[in-house]
Amino acid sequence: MGDGAMGTMLQTAGLEPGDAPERLNAENPEAVRSVHEAYLQAGSDVITTNTFGGNRRRLALHHAGDRVFEWNKAGAAVARRAAGAQDREVIIAGSVGPTGSLLQPVGDLHFDEAKNDFAEQCAALAEGGVDVILIETMSDLEEVRAAIEGARAVGDLPVFCTMTFDTHGRTMMGTSPEEAVQATVDFGVQAFGSNCGNGPGEMEEIAEKMIRACRGVPLIIQANAGVPRIEGDQVVYEAGPERMAEHARRCCDLGIRYIGGCCGTTPAHIRAMIEATKGSDGKGAEEG
């Protein structure tokens, strides 16, 4: 079991709207650590670093393009410290999100430039002590390839990847779950799957498609707590802990090996998901 959302929890902990969440890794690590601890207390086996937007292009939007190494290393280190206080094994997944730019020929970002940015971020995450690189929320297979090659260029950590299928079951670039699995398995990831998107129901359909196409590669599903809506001045997600618990059970029965949450999920969601899947071996309903 993975963890849930980080960004929304940091906003409650005082992150300024519009600021780079990664800044807190260096300037307020205790706030980041307390989010990790909340998920560890809920029972997460994998915690994800607060480094999703930590590549040079994204940080440059916050005039912090020169902080990549410092903020990623600090993000890995604070997760490592939180995990170190546990008396059980915890895996630290180093979060790597998209550059935010479109690659050539659709956009102007050159493949090698993207690869170098990912390499820089992955080197810092490795230095801070992550166990695995988790490339997340990807829409473009070329950017996935750049991220995987970047990670491989600077170390030999396992590389996991999840893509987002939010446009009628396809990525923004039109890729289907089956195409995505096939391509990324060929790129050589250790686990593949989907995160974010439209919510648990749609994610279960994606999971079924991936299971049929995955050629034995372990699958990851980290869904949003449904689609957010605005109520007064608050953002409310439609899926509560009970709905996400039912979702986790379904994913487990399908044979998904690594289940967690994305936007809108909280430690309460994760706790319910763990409770609902206790005793399952994650190998699917048929085998037991």
Q: Chain-centre distance of CA 242, in angstroms?
A: 22
> How far apart are alpha carbons 229 and 239 in whole angstroms?
11
> How far apart are alpha carbons 276 and 270 in whole angstroms?
10
Q: Which residues pair with 135 in a beta bridge?
A: 96, 161
Are 94 and 115 spatial neighbours (Cβ–Cβ below 8 Å)? no
Nearest alpha-carbon partner for 90 in 135, 151, 132, 138? 132
Torsion from C-alpha of 206, 208, 214, 216, nearest 10 degrees = 140
CB of 288 to Zn ion, least distance (A): 31
CB of 172 to Zn ion, least distance (A): 14
**Sheet-wide strand order for 132-138:** 46-48, 91-96, 132-138, 159-163, 191-196, 219-223, 258-261
CB-wise, 126 or 262, nearer to Zn ion?
262
Among the listed residues 263, 270, 272, 276, the single contact to Zn ion using CB under 5 A:
263
Q: Which of residues 47-106 bind Zn ion (CB under 5 A)?
A: none
CB-wise, 142 or 166, nearer to Zn ion?
166
Contacting range for Zn ion; rule: CB under 5 A; set: 112-120, 165-173, 202-210, 216-224 = 216-224
CB-wise, 93 or 262, nearer to Zn ion?
262
CB of 263 to Zn ion, least distance (A): 3
> How far apart are alpha carbons 12 and 38 in whole angstroms?
13
Q: Which of residues 186-215 bind Zn ion (CB under 5 A)?
A: 196
CB of 238 to Zn ion, least distance (A): 14
CB-wise, 121 or 224, nearer to Zn ion?
224
CB of 194 to Zn ion, least distance (A): 11
CB-wise, 224 or 277, nearer to Zn ion?
224
CB of 53 to Zn ion, least distance (A): 13
What letters, b where the CB count within 10 A reaches 16 and e where it falls short, cover 141-161? Answer: bbbbbbbbbbbbebeebebbb
Can residue 262 be called a binding residue for Zn ion (CB under 5 A)?
A: yes
Contacting range for Zn ion; rule: CB under 5 A; set: 71-79, 95-103, 166-174, 220-228 = 220-228
Residues found near Zn ion in the complex (CB under 5 A): 196, 224, 262-263
